[in-house]
Structure 1
Amino acid sequence: MLTIHGVTRSRASRIIWLCHELDLPFQQVPVIQAYRLADADAADAPLNTRSAEFLALSPAGAVPVIEDEGLVLSESLACTLHLARKHGGPTGPQDYAEDALMGQWSLYGATAIEPDALTIMYLHGRTLSQPDDEALVAEAAERLARPLKVLDDHLATHAYLIGGRFTVADLNMAEITRYAMNHTALMEPFPAIRAWMAACHERPAFQAMWQARLAEPE
């Protein structure tokens, strides 16, 4: 059985969502991020990304990691693309061209959108903000305008990213774009993204993952 190492409040959410899409059984080892703990090295600390047990599996010390029939694989997008190729059906590539496009969109999200979207998720609307938070959010939003327009323009004429159907590329991109969705002024000019995100989040597989995520401690 597939094993996913990582709490659902991490990028492991991408893999868990995909497993629900595929009806793929999995077991989850809830490895928590060390930065979320007061003392990750304490004797009574829960299993975390600095625990010796986890570092033996993943020297990079980052979740998620999967174990799949002897394959140990890290990096969430590598994991989802692998599982979609192996089990994906409609969610995975139907030919080499679709496989290439799924990689293209996933990497575009990771490189052009995710860093600034994470800044917005962590800093936008914080109750206890630092003096430079507003400037950092404004700069991130300015940089995101161009890649979000690229995505919106594509979705304005395509229901989904590839092949006219929901695929792992949509899942990967939706999980990345979600980080910026709390900035309503940023997202207002992109109606196609907002409609596509709503469709992605209405999927029962996303809802199953999200309920598990909400059940975890913050």
Structure 2
Amino acid sequence: MLTIHGVTRSRASRIIWLCHELDLPFKQVPVIQAYRLANPDAPDAPLNTHSESFLKLSPAGAIPVLQDGDLVLSESFACTLHLARKYGQPLGPGDAIEDALILQWSFYAVTSIEEDALTILSNLGKGSPRPPEAEKAISQAAERLLRPFRVLDDHIARHGHMVGGRFTVADLNLAEVVRYAQGHAGLMGRFPALKVWLEACQSRPAFQKMWQARLDEPA
């Protein structure tokens, strides 16, 4: 059985969503981020990314970590891509061309979208009215996202999905990154195809199952 180390309120959500899509049973070890704890090194601290037992598994001290038999794998997209390849279609690549395109869009999510989308998410969470520096950070990040979101919006308008005309791990990976900017209504409103696509991804039963588990976790 697969083991996913990491709470659902983390990038482990990507792997959990995929496992639900593929009907893969898994065990989840709820390793929490050390920064969420007042004293992660306290003797009574819950299992976290500073815990000695976890660091033996992941010297980088980062979640998620996937164990698949003898394979111990970190980096959330490496984990989702591995599982999609291993278990195949419809979410995985059907051939080498699809594999290359899935890699392309997954890397695009990480290199061109994730940092600015996270900036929007973190600053939107600072309440209202937000301090001027938060508003500036949101505005600048949204401006930088115009080009990559335009690329996605155009591609989705023409093809419906990222690869192969069907929902694949490329859609899942991108949706989990675009989600960080979803709360910026003005930005998302400029890209109707992207907005509709994201809502469709999040309406899938597997996403809903993961999201409910995430909501049920302590904040």
Letter in 1 for 2:69: E
* 1:106 corresponds to: 106
Tell me if the contact between 2:10 and 2:64 (Cα under 8 Å) persists in the aligned partners: yes
After superposition, give the CA deviation of every residue in 1:115-147 in whole Å (9 maximum; x if it has no partner).
Answer: 000000010252164441111111101100000
Report what 1:154 is aligned to.
155
Correspondence 1:14-163 to 2 at 5 A: 14-124=14-124, 126-127=126-127, 129-163=130-164
Cα distance in 2, alignment partners of residues 143 and 5 from structure 1: 33
- Distance in 2, matches of 1:206 and 1:23, equals 12
How far did 1:42 drift?
0.7
Segments of 5+ residues of structure 2 without an aligned counterpart are none
SS of the equivalent of 1:153 reads: helix
* 4+ long deviations beyond 2 Å: 128-131
Task: Spell out, residue by residue over 1:1-59, the C-alpha distance to the aligned partner (whole angstroms, 9 max, x if none).
Answer: 00000000000000000000000010000000001111111111000001000000000
CA distance in 2, matches of 1:96, 1:37: 44
User: Quick one: which amino acid aligns to residue 210 of structure 2?
Assistant: M
**What residue in structure 2 maps to residue 166 of structure 1?**
167
Tell me the TM-score normalized by structure 2: 0.98
How many residue pairs were aligned? 218
**d(CA) in 1 for partners of 2:215, 2:88:** 26
Q: What secondary structure, in the 3-state scheme, does the structure 1 residue paired with 2:162 have? A: coil
Residue of structure 2 in register with 1:197 after alignment: 198
For residues 1-20 of structure 1, the aligned pairs below 5 Å read 1-20=1-20
Deviation at 1:89, TM superposition (A): 2.1
Q: Which residue of 1 aligns with 2:176?
A: 175
Query: Contact conserved, 2:49 with 2:63, CA < 8 A, in 1?
Result: yes
1:150 CA displacement: 0.4
Supply the AA of the counterpart residue of 1:201.
Answer: Q
Alpha-carbon separation, structure 1, partners of 2:24 and 2:70 = 17
The DSSP-based 3-state class of the residue aligned with 1:177 is helix
CA distance 1:116–1:56, shift in 2 (3 Å): same
Q: Per-residue deviation at 1:69?
A: 1.0
> Does structure 1 retain, via aligned residues, the 8 Å contact 2:88–2:94?
no
Deviations 1:165-207 (A, max 9, x none): 0000000000000000000001111000011011101110001
Q: What SS does structure 2 have at the residue aligned with 1:173?
A: helix
Separation (CA, whole Å) in 1 of partners of 2:216 and 2:108: 31
Partner amino acid for 1:147?
Answer: P
Q: Distance in 2 between matches of 1:210 and 1:169?
A: 19
